């Protein structure tokens, strides 16, 4: 979601170095405007002040401007400790002394599109106060070099349990959603959808998604023998990018892999539940979205969405349970 910001900065002549945690670093290496990626040696959670201080010392004198995309206080510490002259970001977690140039936090009830929210940082210094309405193409773009695709597919091709992974020969499912179950279309629906598809189905995700992907594969293969393959936790991120980029179609929840498919321009269907496609849409002309909050065929309208909760506060998760496999299959 930060790629349009980086593209804007690169287009006006800024040389971009991105600091990112190891699990997300490959995403930035696939962004055309990024010259360098520094992997931050931090664990998720915790201040880890000694490590941040040590890294900041190594970065001193290297940069003129830091754009701090996350809203957390700790994310603004390294640019501040490194004495980077201009430090740009949203006020976030009360970061008044850490940032030199701040934009006001957006109204949480309005939840502007995240791509616009990040890209507005490029206006700091040009338009004081709240950001202007952005113009131009804000669709994220990823580029995976052909050599990287070939290498990833060659490794996966050694798996005797997988079919030949030719371009457009298979469908990718991404059933996970890190945020919580209120963003995950039920496994039974994914399994039913897989059983309707007459080509191999590859299930992608991280190690935490392996169990739900195995549930989907087992149920789907009971109806259509052996065509559904669980690769969750078995690929690195570049291999996942390669598989998504070569897929015939992608089906996902509102998740990181949904945005990867959008940035690679793959035809996709995204199922939204507790979150909103008005806030985090797949910005892809070939994307189709299912969201019962605005579905004219779903009566009465589902007024409880979006709740943005990890689990359904009403206990029924109808926003996802009521999206049938037949509906998604028709969009595919």
Q: What is the DSSP string of 200-250?
A: -EEE---GGGHHHHHHHHHHHHHHSTT-EEE-TTTS-HHHHHHHHHT-SEE
Are residues 108 and 236 located together in one domain of the fold?
no
Model-level pTM?
A: 0.91
Compute φ and ψ for 164, nearest 5 degrees: -65, 125
Are residues 153 and 116 located together in one domain of the fold?
no
Whether 131 is covered by a domain: the verdict is no
Whether 128 is covered by a domain: the verdict is no
The domain boundary, picked from 123, 157, 185, lies at 123
Query: pLDDT, tens digit, for every residue of 240-250?
Result: 999 999 999 99
Q: What is the DSSP string of 292-312?
A: GGG-TTSSS--TT-----SS-
CA distance to 33, 83, 183, 223, 298, per residue, from 19 (Å) = 14, 16, 28, 46, 44
Query: pLDDT, tens digit, for every residue of 161-201?
Result: 898 888 999 999 999 998 899 999 999 999 999 999 999 99
Q: Angle at Cα 167 formed by Cα 163 and Cα 168, nearest 5°?
A: 90
The domain boundary, picked from 106, 123, 140, lies at 123
Beta pairing, strands 86-90 & 65-68: parallel
Are residues 219 and 165 located together in one domain of the fold?
yes
Are residues 78 and 175 located together in one domain of the fold?
no
Compute φ and ψ for 138, nearest 5 degrees: -110, 20
Which residue reads 């290496």 in tokens? 29
Counting residues of the chain whose pLDDT is more than 90, the rounded percentage is 78
Kindly state the tokens that stand for 2. Answer: 């930060």
CA distance to 24, 280, 326, 331, per residue, from 250 (Å) = 21, 17, 16, 11
C-alpha closest to that of 291 among 269, 310, 265, 313 = 269
Which residue reads 């809203």 in tokens? 71
Instruction: Report, as ranges of residue numbers, the positions in the chain whose pLDDT lies below 50.
Output: 127-129, 131
Whether 296 is covered by a domain: the verdict is yes
In 21-122, where do the E strands start and end?
34-39, 65-68, 86-90, 101-103
The domain boundary, picked from 60, 89, 123, lies at 123
Helices (H) and strands (E) in the chain, counts: 12, 11
Which residue reads 């910005």 in tokens? 283
Segments forming the whole domain that contains residue 189: 148-331
Are residues 317 and 177 located together in one domain of the fold?
yes
Whether 134 is covered by a domain: the verdict is no
pLDDT of residue 135: 67
pLDDT of residue 128: 47
Give the neighbor-by-neighbor strand order of the sheet with 86-90: 65-68, 86-90, 101-103
pLDDT of residue 107: 73
CA-based radius of gyration for the chain = 21
Whether 100 is covered by a domain: the verdict is yes
Find the CATH number of the domain harbouring 70: 3.40.50.2000
pLDDT of residue 125: 67
C-alpha closest to that of 153 among 141, 171, 167, 132 = 167
Which residue reads 């931050």 in tokens? 40
- Are 230 and 214 in contact by the 8 Å Cβ rule? The answer is yes
Are residues 270 and 183 located together in one domain of the fold?
yes
Domain count for the chain: 2
């Amino acid at each position: 979601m930060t790629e349009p910001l980086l593209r804007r900065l690169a287009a006006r002549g800024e040389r971009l170095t991105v600091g990112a945690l190891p699990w997300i670093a490959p995403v930035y290496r696939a962004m055309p405007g990024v010259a360098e990626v520094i992997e931050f040696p931090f664990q998720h959670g915790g201040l880890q002040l000694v490590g941040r201080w040590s890294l900041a010392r190594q970065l001193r004198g290297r940069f003129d401007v830091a754009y701090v995309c996350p809203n957390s206080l700790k994310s603004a510490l390294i640019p501040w400790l490194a004495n980077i002259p201009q430090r740009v970001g949203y006020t976030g977690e009360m970061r008044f002394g850490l940032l030199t140039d701040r934009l006001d936090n957006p109204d949480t009830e309005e939840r502007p599109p995240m791509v616009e929210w990040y890209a507005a940082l490029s206006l700091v210094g040009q338009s004081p106060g709240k950001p202007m309405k952005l113009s131009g193409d804000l669709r994220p773009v990823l580029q995976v070099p052909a050599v990287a695709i070939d290498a990833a597919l060659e490794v996966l091709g050694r798996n005797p349990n997988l079919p030949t992974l030719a371009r457009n020969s298979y469908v990718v499912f991404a059933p996970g959603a890190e945020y919580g179950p209120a963003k995950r279309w039920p496994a039974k629906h994914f399994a039913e959808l897989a059983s309707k598809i007459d080509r191999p189905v590859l299930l992608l995700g991280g190690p935490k998604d392996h169990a739900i992907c195995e549930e989907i594969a087992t149920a789907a293969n009971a109806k259509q023998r052996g065509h559904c393959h669980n690769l969750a936790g078995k690929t690195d991120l570049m291999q996942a990018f390669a598989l998504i980029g070569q897929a015939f179609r992608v089906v996902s929840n509102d998740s990181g892999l949904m945005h990867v498919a959008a940035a690679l321009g793959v035809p996709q269907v995204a199922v939204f539940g507790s979150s909103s496609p008005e806030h985090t849409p797949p910005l892809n002309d070939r994307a189709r979205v299912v969201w019962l909050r605005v579905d004219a065929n779903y009566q009465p309208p589902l007024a409880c969405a979006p709740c943005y909760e990890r689990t359904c506060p009403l206990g029924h998760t109808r926003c996802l349970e009521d999206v049938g496999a037949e509906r998604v299959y028709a969009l595919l």
